[in-house]
Structure 1
Amino acid sequence: NLLAEKVEQLMEWSSRRSIFRMNGDKFRKFIKAPPRNYSMIVMFTALQPQRQCSVCRQANEEYQILANSWRYSSAFCNKLFFSMVDYDEGTDVFQQLNMNSAPTFMHFPPKGRPKRADTFDLQRIGFAAEQLAKWIADRTDVHIRVFRPPNYSGTIALALLVSLVGGLLYLRRNNLEFIYNKTGWAMVSLCIVFAMTSGQMWNHIRGPPYAHKNPHNGQVSYIHGSSQAQFVAESHIILVLTS
């Protein structure tokens, strides 16, 4: 049975890695060719160093978190798999799909061709694992609870800040007039206003890429073409212009 053989092979790959790499032949056999009774999430990317795609590396980290969350969950089954196609390993796939940007996430359903909604709107939503999980739930009805590895950088930064402020107050304990300095507080307020008006909070919530690089011609875009999204670099440009 061809379908059983394909599923068995995919399960074997999944047992070794939560994301398996596809070249042109594997893509056509396991994703494009019937029969299929499983959904496949594919990240089209360009991870080779010579491509200099920092956004691809960032998206890959989030994709890995998502795939690991699915692979090691109790709900894991043979109805959903995660794979990737690197531009340098599957140039023919990019050409076949007329794809000219990376990273791009697509869902290939068990039956029929992918629809417009099966391409993840990365430019508008960002590539955070949680956002990808919501999109997958909409397309496949498979709900993935994202588990992130512990990150203590925020706690360490907060501890350092508290220590710094505490040390400063202790050293200046006999002269705390600087706390009432209007100029200082005005500068702090302006910094917060400039950061918020430039879209830093939107970046924090959505997790957009810093910029977009076309893998074919290497052209880098720092300004998003849509009025409903932005790049991190765009926020920095606005911050400099407004300040």
Structure 2
Amino acid sequence: QNLLAEKVEQLMEWSSRRSIFRMNGDKFRKFIKAPPRNYSMIVMFTALQPQRQCSVCRQANEEYQILANSWRYSSAFCNKLFFSMVDYDEGTDVFQQLNMNSAPTFMHFPPKGRPKRADTFDLQRIGFAAEQLAKWIADRTDVHIRVFRPPNYSGTIALALLVSLVGGLLYLRRNNLEFIYNKTGWAMVSLCIVFAMTSGQMWNHIRGPPYAHKNPHNGQV
């Protein structure tokens, strides 16, 4: 009981400083693999160092950070669920121990017993959006996390710039607005929109599919 209390106290202290704490091999074995445990641990196995050139790892990390922050600053936060990560360059032995050859990977380590197949998040099929991760966590731990995303003003700024650009153009050409009735110009704009839609850009924007897929036979990304 004393050992368990010490582990939980340490995890709560780390959580008070950051919503996701990094694990090396020793910390992974002590806090995640070794009993006793009465808490669930969500671990992202990743490769964030620039030399790894894993762009999908950075994208997944952003979503994971949003999810962990949503839990850390929610009124339901407690010592039954924690978020951590293992970077390949900081925990190569952990990757070898789990026979893991791809990143990013999300796993749930339950309070008792070994992780089951469903405790590994199906990133290739579902994607890594924070909302999808939260749903998976609810299925595995019965802990429901409401995802709060920070406000994104990029769309508003882009719209303001576009309106300013169009307004400035109309002002400069206010004495000659015949170009507005140019059929060729409008046809070119329409074709560009059609090509963008048929290229799959809108589908990607709506569905947010994963950047890369893993070969189920050899695990290669």
| TM class, shorter-length | 0.7 to 0.9
Counterpart contact for 1:51–1:215, Cα < 8 Å: no
Aligned pair in 2 of structure 1 residues 141, 213: CA closer, same or farther (>3 Å)?
Answer: closer
How far apart are 1:74 and its partner, in Å? Answer: 0.8
Counterpart contact for 2:40–2:109, Cα < 8 Å: yes
Report the 3-state secondary structure (helix = DSSP H, G, I; strand = E; otherwise coil) of the residue aligned with 2:48.
Answer: coil
Q: Which piece of structure 1 moves more, 20-29 or 207-216?
A: 207-216
Q: Which piece of structure 1 moves more, 193-202 or 203-212?
A: 203-212
How far apart are 1:56 and its partner, in Å? Answer: 1.4
Gaps of 5+ in 2: none
Counterpart contact for 2:102–2:219, Cα < 8 Å: no
How far apart are 1:211 and its partner, in Å? Answer: 4.5
How far apart are 1:217 and its partner, in Å? Answer: 13
How far apart are 1:218 and its partner, in Å? Answer: 13
Report the 3-state secondary structure (helix = DSSP H, G, I; strand = E; otherwise coil) of the residue aligned with 2:15.
Answer: helix
Tell whether 2:156 aligns with 1:159.
no
Counterpart contact for 1:100–1:215, Cα < 8 Å: no
Counterpart contact for 1:55–1:212, Cα < 8 Å: no
Counterpart contact for 1:39–1:79, Cα < 8 Å: yes
Report the 3-state secondary structure (helix = DSSP H, G, I; strand = E; otherwise coil) of the residue aligned with 2:85.
Answer: strand
- In the other structure, the counterpart of 1:17 is 18
Counterpart contact for 1:101–1:215, Cα < 8 Å: no
Aligned pair in 2 of structure 1 residues 120, 194: CA closer, same or farther (>3 Å)?
Answer: farther
Q: Which piece of structure 1 moves more, 148-157 or 210-219?
A: 210-219
Report the 3-state secondary structure (helix = DSSP H, G, I; strand = E; otherwise coil) of the residue aligned with 1:70.
Answer: helix
Report the 3-state secondary structure (helix = DSSP H, G, I; strand = E; otherwise coil) of the residue aligned with 2:41.
Answer: strand
How far apart are 1:83 and its partner, in Å? Answer: 0.2
How far apart are 1:187 and its partner, in Å? Answer: 2.5
TM-score, normalized by length of structure 2? 0.87
Counterpart contact for 1:106–1:120, Cα < 8 Å: yes
Counterpart contact for 2:101–2:219, Cα < 8 Å: no
Per-residue displacement from partner, 1:187-236 (whole Å, max 9, x unpaired)? 223322322233222322343454579999998xxxxxxxxxxxxxxxxx
Whole-angstrom CA distance in 2 between matches of 1:120 and 1:194: 35
Whole-angstrom CA distance in 2 between matches of 1:106 and 1:202: 28
Per-residue displacement from partner, 1:122-169 (whole Å, max 9, x unpaired)? 223322222222222222221212222232221111101111112222
Aligned pair in 2 of structure 1 residues 190, 83: CA closer, same or farther (>3 Å)?
Answer: same
Report the 3-state secondary structure (helix = DSSP H, G, I; strand = E; otherwise coil) of the residue aligned with 1:212.
Answer: coil
Aligned pair in 2 of structure 1 residues 215, 22: CA closer, same or farther (>3 Å)?
Answer: farther
Q: CA-atom RMSD, angstroms?
A: 2.9
Counterpart contact for 2:44–2:85, Cα < 8 Å: yes
Per-residue displacement from partner, 1:40-72 (whole Å, max 9, x unpaired)? 110001111221222212221221121111111
